[in-house]
Chains A and B, each alone.
Chain A
Amino acid sequence: MSTTAPPAPLLPSNAVDSTGPITAADGTPLQTALSRATRKARIRAFLLVAPLLAFVVLTFVAPIGQMLWRSVSNDSFSANMPALTAWFAENEALGSDGGPEGDGIPGEDAFEALATDLKGARENRTAGIVGTRVNYDLSGTRSLFTKSARQARKLEAPFKAALLDVDEDWGDAELWSVMRSASRTYTGDFYLAALDMQRNVDGEIEAVPENRRIYVPLFVRTLWLSALIAGLCLLLAFPVAHLLARLPLRYSNILMIFVLLPFWTSLLVRTTSWMVMLQSQGVVNDLMVAVGIVGDDGRIQMMYNQAGTIIAMTHILLPFMILPLYSVMKTIPHDYVRAARSLGATPSTAFWRIYFPQTVPGIGAGVLLVFILAVGYYITPALVGGSSGQLISNLIAFHMQKSLNWSLAAALAALLLAGVMLLYWLYDRLIGIDNMKFG
């Protein structure tokens, strides 16, 4: 059974070449051949993911991006006051000693531009928008713009005198400094405001007076309360999760239902029932009065203050701590603690040196989850927090809904996001995200 084929070379001539790239059997480079072979699979995989990708981009990435953009970009002044904006651009820094008279008030040309813009604002009915924008930085100025715009038609040269005649506030150096910064479409001023800082008349950054600082103390309070709530959740959840992981299935199932029950109840209902429980005429206080722990006039205020926020949020966020802890504890065989005990460890040594370290991934996941949820929590503090239990989200909501200063709301939200990401990064450095287990 012999054939007369030429002797086959040890290696196909095009298979391995010590100089050129490795090629497939037909001579195309192996990389090309490989990517061609897997292209179909990759396209199919992409098409499967595409709907979700589009959904996420449309409903998540785009709005958040737009929101973040708004925090550094606000054209409500520059778009509606073009002439004055142009004048500001041409005439650089006008300090407190600037201007023809050295009092920080610009000269006639600036007032002429202002008058032109006020006339335009009257026609386009945009004086309110401009006034609102300036009002962010200098309160009480919105009416100045609307009032002056109403009388803009009557304004005649010399405009400086005429405008000062309409309202002498036009001669306020701080107003001109504020208008200058508002004329910039792209600005970091909202971030300054979110950090309780402002520009003074000379354009220098300074902290606002102590009694007007709102945001930084609120950030601190938000982080501190969130950490406290996460800590309380951990203390309460650890034994429950341990019990869940150790009990026989039929008991742990019942217990699990009790853990999950809050999930199936509306957040509002849960918060409201805490109000029923904790208010000064509520169940807890009535009970304490009835038992005689406190007198009828000494009812404890547990609602509409920080205590209310802490109690209600700890309860509401508890399942988010129990579930990751439980899922980690369930994977720790009971034999570890038994082995430690048989090796001579007391129950507490066995717990702290053997059991506890193995629950750290669950603790990390639970604490991070509860903390991040708490930092952005809104409804519960709004309902039960009173004034001392408000969190930063409540103020973001205020600026979104009431003051309509969306740029500031966006700046606050962006700072919150940055803070959470920083903590996440720290967590990754200290414990490692890989070690985290949600279930």
Chain B
Amino acid sequence: MSANAAEVSGSANEPMVRFKNVQKSYDGETLVVKDLNVDIARGEFLTMLGPSGSGKTTSLMMLAGFEPATHGEIILNGRPINDVPPHKRGIGMVFQNYALFPHMTVAENLAFPLQVRKMSKSDAAAKVKRALEMVELPEFGDRRPAQLSGGQQQRVAVARALVFEPDLVLMDEPLGALDKQLREQMQYEIKHIHESLGVTVVYVTHDQSEALTMSDRIAVFNDGVIQQLSSPDTLYEKPDNSFVAQFIGENNRLQGVINEVRGDACVVKLDSGDEVLAEQVVPGGTGTRTTLSIRPERIELDPAPGACPVTIDGKIEELIYLGDHIRVRMNVAGTNEFIVKVRNHTGRKPLAAGQQASVGWDPIDCRALDALT
């Protein structure tokens, strides 16, 4: 599913959010977001993933109403919201640095969105209590944000964005400031909150493992354009282009030229002279330059004869022991950086640096993508 496909699928079922030909420029010279078209379904967890400066945060800020779109339309619940100020959009938001009001207690922070909505004190107090219980901080209402740990502040920020029961919650790299272990724990918690409340979440991150863990769909941004919009498994296993293949997970790249097209597959003549069979993704016929992308864990080291449709000879350069698997760096088809992951199971053949070994894979796992320059 690509960005264009998502646009078509939205018409069947009214989307929650629709970006229509949205463009954004800050200086009038360069476009930070170039022609953004996304439909976000109700209840979906959509992640905008990309390197910094790719336009993902800008897109989120346009949706929240803090940045005006230079061109195009943003539609929320069927209504264009380009001219609706942020406080009337009813969108919850979690900021990168939490943005908890330092001069208010946790409970006051949570009550703030309810107060500005003129909710009665007792109703507000009940909701605040429930929200604090949801993020497992029922005892912390009287504390100031500065008295909480990073993870606790983060939970309060999530609770505050949800306490007024918005349909849509935006999260701008909310876990960026946490350490790795806490980050992983919070990923699950946010995911569970999303599932139990059924809110729509638009999540921005540059951390690909975070995106894979949490999302229903991921939009990979680069250079102001969505490179691919699909589910985590599709994104990982069937990347549309070299950028996505390289940005998500680890990936071996081999350069070559398409020699022969066979339906969906093609024969690629590598620069080293070897010929391999691959799944054709890049459009074009014979003579098109291409980058082959193969995930390290899909490669078989020293496969039994006939087990793999494609085999190439290589040489082991380096072994890195990682416990559950062994990373084998090999010299294959002219590159020194060819990585193979070997599962650390009993009866594993002994490996040594300098040893000659062949590698093999299924052509389905080897995708002929656009050539990297």
Interface residues on A, range: 10 to 19
- Complex Cα gap A313–B66 (Å): 40
Interface residue? A333 (CB, 8 A)? yes
Max chain B Cβ within 10 angstroms of own Cβ: one of A336, A339, A342: A342
Contact partner of A358 (CB less than 8 A), chosen from B87, B102, B113, is B102
Contact partner of A333 (CB less than 8 A), chosen from B65, B97, B103, is B97
Interface residue? B64 (CB, 8 A)? yes
Contact partner of B66 (CB less than 8 A), chosen from A336, A338, A346, is A338
Other 13 A-B pairs with CB < 8 A, given A333-B99, A342-B92: A336-B99, A338-B64, A338-B66, A339-B99, A340-B101, A341-B66, A342-B64, A342-B93, A342-B161, A342-B170, A345-B113, A345-B116, A354-B101
- Complex Cα gap A338–B57 (Å): 14
Interface residue? A343 (CB, 8 A)? yes
Interface residue? B262 (CB, 8 A)? no
Smallest Cβ distance from A415 to chain B, in angstroms? 37
Interface residue? A357 (CB, 8 A)? yes
| A342 close to B103 (CB less than 8 A) | no
Contact partner of A344 (CB less than 8 A), chosen from B101, B102, B113, B170, is B113
- Complex Cα gap A257–B86 (Å): 35
| A343 close to B160 (CB less than 8 A) | yes
Residues from chain B with a CB closer than 8 A to the CB of A336 are: 99, 101
Interface residue? A28 (CB, 8 A)? no
Smallest Cβ distance from B346 to chain A, in angstroms? 42
Residues from chain A with a CB closer than 8 A to the CB of B89 are: 342
Contact partner of B116 (CB less than 8 A), chosen from A333, A335, A349, A357, is A349
Smallest Cβ distance from B23 to chain A, in angstroms? 22
Contact partner of A343 (CB less than 8 A), chosen from B66, B96, B97, B116, is B116
Count of residues in B whose CB is under 8 Å from the partner chain: 26
Interface residue? B284 (CB, 8 A)? no
Query: What residue in chain A is nearest B90 (Cβ atoms)?
Result: A344
A335-365 near B? 1/0 per residue, CB < 8 Å: 1101111111111011001100110000000
A interface residues with partner B (beta carbon < 8 Å): 333, 335-336, 338-347, 349-350, 353-354, 357-358
Residues from chain A with a CB closer than 8 A to the CB of B113 are: 343-345
- Complex Cα gap A358–B104 (Å): 10
Query: What residue in chain B is nearest A338 (Cβ atoms)?
Result: B66
| A357 close to B103 (CB less than 8 A) | yes
Contact partner of B87 (CB less than 8 A), chosen from A333, A335, A342, A353, is A342
| A344 close to B117 (CB less than 8 A) | yes
- Complex Cα gap A344–B161 (Å): 11
Q: List 17 A-B contacts (CB under 8 A).
A: A335-B97, A336-B99, A338-B99, A341-B66, A341-B85, A342-B65, A342-B92, A342-B93, A343-B112, A343-B113, A343-B116, A344-B116, A344-B117, A346-B87, A347-B87, A353-B112, A358-B103
Contacting A at CB under 8 A, from B89-125, are 89-93, 95-97, 99, 101-103, 112-113, 116-117
- Complex Cα gap A315–B308 (Å): 84
Interface residue? B45 (CB, 8 A)? no
Residues from chain B with a CB closer than 8 A to the CB of A347 are: 85, 87
Residues from chain B with a CB closer than 8 A to the CB of A344 are: 87, 90, 113, 116-117, 164
Query: What residue in chain A is nearest B157 (Cβ atoms)?
Result: A339
- Complex Cα gap A335–B174 (Å): 13
Residues from chain A with a CB closer than 8 A to the CB of B160 are: 343
Smallest Cβ distance from A342 to chain B, in angstroms? 4
- Complex Cα gap A357–B161 (Å): 21
| B85 close to A345 (CB less than 8 A) | no
- Complex Cα gap A350–B88 (Å): 13
Residues from chain A with a CB closer than 8 A to the CB of B65 are: 341-342
Query: What residue in chain B is nearest A355 (Cβ atoms)?
Result: B101
Query: What residue in chain B is nearest A332 (Cβ atoms)?
Result: B102
- Complex Cα gap A268–B97 (Å): 48
